[in-house]
Each structure stands twice: as structure tokens, then as C-alpha cells.
Structure 1
Amino acid sequence: MAERTLARRAVRAGFDALERLDAATGFSRLYPDESNAILAYHAVGRPAGYGNVSIERFRRDVAYVTEHFEAADLPDVLEPSGGKRVAFTFDDALDDFYENALPVLREHRIPATLFVPVDFVGGGPDGHAYRFAESPAERASFNDPAAFADESFPDPAVMSWDRLREVAADPLVTVGTHTRTHLDLGRVRDAETLEREIVGARDELEDRLGVDVDRFCYPFGRYTEEAVEAVRASHAMAVTSRPGVVRGGGSADAGSPDRYRLPRVRAHETERRVRWDLSGLRWRLTECVE
């Protein structure tokens, strides 16, 4: 046990050193990297925290991606291109996407996917705001609102239907499903619940917005095999919160990625970490030490 702990610490120290070196030299960009990547954002312009970045930080992310890679729409990361593509995704359809992120995306003509928790559009169901503030990994009763009845949580500020229609009409933005109630799909195997949360949510988005919806995002990146199958039957692809790049998307010789369990790079990490995590070299080295 002690030896394994020391080995893990040594690996972490080694990767931290490589991350710092890459920040200083950019050596990872010399690696012939054709592994595409997906960036995962939540809020843009809120205080620092999980999923949140400042507007200034978001602008720097956009500048870095457009300078060194090709900013692409989400399905394009599944196809070989002879280069490296990076897709921008945003979970939760928050008002600050409209106010802070979309103007930057428009300025640089960058496509993005916006994942919508349908029942929270314009104000969520009573007693469910905790699902944007608490982690299901830490609460066994996460899917039971009664377990949080004595606690107070801020409104997640999901945009209104009118605002969402305007966003969905923008050719740069594609709307995707993020369930109805932002529940933990890692604890759901019931077919009726999956139908309502996955297929029903998609159907309502299509009806209200007048667009086709075929992209899905698992809340918290968690799912059961039954949930994956429900998504597979109703959508063309799905993203998770598992860190990594899309191996097989950029190279015709690398095999096909699992389009229903696509990894993403967590954009709320430090800039140094995000730029290192975008590198295919970083994940090749990870495989070598696992």
C-alpha cells in the first residue's frame, strides 16, 4: 500500500513538472497530435468555482484554441481532419452564456453546443435548485428532493424560453439535451424515468424551439448502462465529465471513439492545466504509467 501511494505521488509530481514545462515552452504542441478535444464549460462570468470561468479567462481560452487548433462543432471531433479540432460545450444553459459567452463566440465565429436542463428553463421546479449546487457523489439520496427540504440553495439562473429560442436560432449554437430535472443518472435504471428525463426532454426541446436535437450531456457525467442505452436510442452522441481527449476522432488509424461516452477537458481548471489537458501527449503519457 505504501509503495503504491509513493508511486502515485511520484507520477503526480512528474505530471505537474511536465505541465509547468509545457506552460513555459509549449513543447506538447510539437507532438504530432491528431486527437481532438471537447472543452466543458458551465458559467462564464461568475466567481471562481467548479465549472466557472471569468469573461477574461474565456477570451484567453478562445484565443489559445483559435491560434493553435481548429475550433469545430461537436460532431466534427469524431472525424479525422489531418489536424487537431477542439469543440466548445456549455452545460446548463445559464443566462450568463447568453450575456457573456455568446458575444465572444460570435466575435470569433466559433460554434458551440448548449446543453439544456428542460424543466429549469425560465425557473425550475420547487425544491430542485440543489441539483446545481450539490454533488451526487457525496449524497446517496441525491435524487430525492425531500432530503434537501431543510436546506436553501440559489436559483441556477437557467435562461428563459424566449432567450433560449433566440440562442437556438443562432447558426453558431446547437442545443442539446441535459435531462429534464438535472438528476443523477448514475442511480437510474427505471425505464419510465429514463424515458421522461432523456427522450421526453429532447421532445420538448424540439417542440418548443423548432430544431432537431440529437446531442446529450449526462448531468455530473454519471450514468448507468440503461441510461446510455436510452441515450443511444434517442440521440446521435453524448458527452461525459470523464477527463480526456477524443482518441480516434483525429486519426483514421486510431479506431472509432465511443460517441455515447465522449470525454471532455474541464475548462474551469487553471489555464496551465487546461492547455496541458488539451494535449494528446498528456494522455499518451498517462496511458504509459497506468
Structure 2
Amino acid sequence: MSSSGPARLFRAMTAGDGVIFTLHRVLPASDRMFQPNKLLEITPEFLRETVGQVRDAGYEFVSLEEGLRRLELPRAERNKFAVLTFDDGYKDNRDVAYPILKELNVPFTVFVTSEYSNHNSELWWVILERLIADNDSLTIRHRSTSLVYPCATLEEKNEAFGAARDALICRLTEEEQRSAIRDAAECYGLDWRALCKDLILSFEDLREFNQDPLVTLGAHTDTHPMLARLSSAEDMRQHIQSGLDEMKDRLGLEPVVLAYPYGFPAAVDERCEAVAEEMGFVAAVTTQPGTLRAGSLKRRFHLPRVSLNGMHQNQRMVDVYLTGAAFVAYHAARRIRNALRGVMKQKA
């Protein structure tokens, strides 16, 4: 699918005018055997290489707002662009990624979850990794139910993480998820507030960080809920507005772009898009893959992003991303799958 393969034949049709990259953390490579959150991490070396590779492919790195502005220009004036975005506000965005991006003069956006920056909410995926790494068995309780996961061996740890992750984001409600992971952390002696403080930029950090014109801060709700799981549009609005209010009070700014927490298809529905538009955002981004073109603005509250992640840290994969062909195939397959599911439901 790379530009040296079949996708090169379709690149002119599928590459689009721009691309927004999703990142979370930038950290030195680790030799730990158990790394279930590796998907969320890339190395500083890969970040540097990717910036050079994308520029060599003819893209200019711009701010997210500038990228959106370019999509409104006539096609002849639309130079190819790339945007870097970081979700959640990890300290390594400042300590590891920023020096590289500053040196290379690359603008970027950090999407801030306000209660993470207040160090008062649960990084449940990190908590879960720590609990499984440090124990031979893990019990997560909610209501009268106990979920027990053996995790003595590496294989068991990986299986436990996958099963517990699915339970936390699919079987439990948002409120149950938070209660269950907090209780588990406290039961096993893990200070989840200290963990959040250790990993996430405070509002004081963000205020200083935001002094550089290369840095833009965006909205990412207050406690990082999966918005589509919430019972009403008003609940969605409250979580988004709470994050906005905190950023305005603590930083004196009002973000114009929203990143939906999680951002995959089950996490973002039409209600989310309607709320984002009603609240006056210029645009909202998902984590659903795809490149950008002028037509993307017709659905500006459901913009795609491309994941730079720890599972695919190689130049060939970045080349595949830039062709856009893989995303066209992905969305076509998803439409076919959804259509087949609809047919099966009707038959049932």
C-alpha cells in the first residue's frame, strides 16, 4: 500500500490536501516486556524522522486552525499541509516532544482534559497497566460483581489487560468505570492522584507552555468520558463546558477546536457532532482514520485523524498514511460490514 506499491496509482485521488496526526506520548524506547499501552507511545527518534519524511513528501506543518483555513481556499491555492495533535496533556509532550518540535519549527496542538490537569481524574488505562504489572492476580469490583483476572505470566497479563479494558469501556457505565478503577487502585495501594500528577501537565505548566506561538491548546472535556455513552446531549454539553470553563478560568483562553475522547466510531455519534456545533466550536476531531480535502468541511465536527503510534513506527507505514489509500479501503470495508449487519438484523 506504500507509494512504491499499488497505492501509488491512486495517490492523486486518495491522498487529499492535508492530514491531522494523532499522538499521545513521546518517550524513549523501553525494554519492558509488558507494554499494553505501547499504542499510545512513539519514540523521539520516530517523531523526528516522521517530521522530515512528511516534509520531504511535500507537506508543510501548520497549526490546526491554519489547516482548516487552507481547506477553504480554492484548490489551486491549497498547498499540502500536516498537523500534529497530542491528546490528554502528558508532561512528555513538553519535556520530550517540544524540544524536537521547537528545533524543527513545527506547530502543534495539545488537547487538554481539565480534570487531568487538575490531577483529579483517573488515567484508567495507565492505572490498569500498573496494577496488572505489579500483581499476579487482579480483582475489579463494581456493585455486587467481581471481575477476577489472573496475571502471573506475561501471556496472562496481556490477556487480563485486554479483557479488563473491554469491561471498563464496554460493560460498565462511565460512573461505574471510574468508581471501579479508583477502588481497585486504592485496594492495591496505588495512588491514582499521584500518578496523574506525575504524568500530566498542570494548569501552571500549561500556562507557561502556551507562551510559545508554536503551541495551541484545544478542548478535550473535563474527565475524558466516552461522550456517545452518555444518556443525553445535555450530559455531553456539561462535560465539554466544564472543561472549557476551567481552561478559561485557569488559562484565560477559550479553545475553538474540540477533540472527542477516544474518538473511535462507538465513541462519537451524531449527537456529539450536533453538540459541538451548537457550542460554537470551529471544528471537532475524531480518531477515525482519513485524510482531509475541501469536502471534509461539510462534516467539520467529525474530522478524521491519522494515528502516529507505537505499533507502527516505521517510514513505510507513514508513507502508507500519506497515500490515503488504506483509509479509503478501511471506510469502504466498514460501510459493507455495517450494511451486512443491517441485513442480518432485518432477517432476524
Tell me if structure 2 keeps the 8 A contact 1:187–1:224.
Answer: no
1:42/1:29 CA distance change after superposition, 3 Å? farther
How many residues end up aligned between the 2 structures? 264
State the partner residue of 1:42.
Answer: 24
Q: CA deviation at 1:288?
A: 7.1
State the partner residue of 1:263.
Answer: 304
1:288/1:236 CA distance change after superposition, 3 Å? closer
SS at match of 2:268: coil
State the partner residue of 1:276.
Answer: 320
Among 168, 172, 193, the residue aligned to 2:210: 168
Among 76, 87, 90, the residue aligned to 1:91: 87
Q: Work out the CA distance in 2 between the residues paired with 1:282 and 1:223.
A: 22
SS at match of 1:50: helix
Tell me if structure 2 keeps the 8 A contact 1:117–1:179.
Answer: yes
Q: Work out the CA distance in 1 between the residues paired with 2:300 and 2:286.
A: 10
Kindly provide the CA deviation profile for residues 225-280 of structure 1, in whole angstroms up to 9, marking residues without a partner as x: 3332221122111110101111x33xxxx574411111111100412223211223
Tell me if structure 1 keeps the 8 A contact 2:17–2:78.
Answer: no
Q: CA deviation at 1:196?
A: 2.3
State the partner residue of 2:47.
Answer: 58
Tell me if structure 2 keeps the 8 A contact 1:76–1:85.
Answer: no
Find out whether 1:236 has 2:245 as its counterpart.
Answer: no
Q: Work out the CA distance in 2 between the residues paired with 1:187 and 1:105.
A: 36
Q: Work out the CA distance in 2 between the residues paired with 1:136 and 1:65.
A: 38
Letter in structure 2 aligned against 1:227: C
Structure with greater helix share of residues = 2
SS at match of 2:301: coil
State the partner residue of 1:70.
Answer: 60
1:51/1:284 CA distance change after superposition, 3 Å? same
Unmatched 5+ stretches in structure 2: 129-164, 337-348
Q: Work out the CA distance in 2 between the residues paired with 1:258 and 1:99.
A: 35
Greater Rg over alpha carbons, structure: 2
Kindly provide the CA deviation profile for residues 15-56 of structure 1, in whole angstroms up to 9, marking residues without a partner as x: xxx34945xx99479747443110000000165712210111
1:281/1:118 CA distance change after superposition, 3 Å? same
Q: CA deviation at 1:179?
A: 0.7
Tell me if structure 1 keeps the 8 A contact 2:228–2:271.
Answer: no
Q: CA deviation at 1:107?
A: 1.0
State the partner residue of 1:151.
Answer: 184
Letter in structure 1 aligned against 2:170: R
Q: CA deviation at 1:218?
A: 0.7
1:284/1:228 CA distance change after superposition, 3 Å? closer
The range that moved more, 133-142 or 189-198, is 133-142
Tell me if structure 2 keeps the 8 A contact 1:182–1:219.
Answer: yes
Tell me if structure 2 keeps the 8 A contact 1:38–1:89.
Answer: yes
Q: How do residues 8-47 of structure 1 correspond to structure 2 at under 5 angstroms? A: 18-19=1-2, 21-22=4-5, 27=8, 31=12, 33-45=15-27, 47=30
SS at match of 2:217: strand
Q: CA deviation at 1:130?
A: 1.0
TM-score normalized by the length of structure 1: 0.80
Letter in structure 2 aligned against 1:86: A
Tell me if structure 2 keeps the 8 A contact 1:136–1:142.
Answer: no
Among 225, 241, 250, the residue aligned to 1:183: 225
Among 264, 268, 272, the residue aligned to 1:227: 272
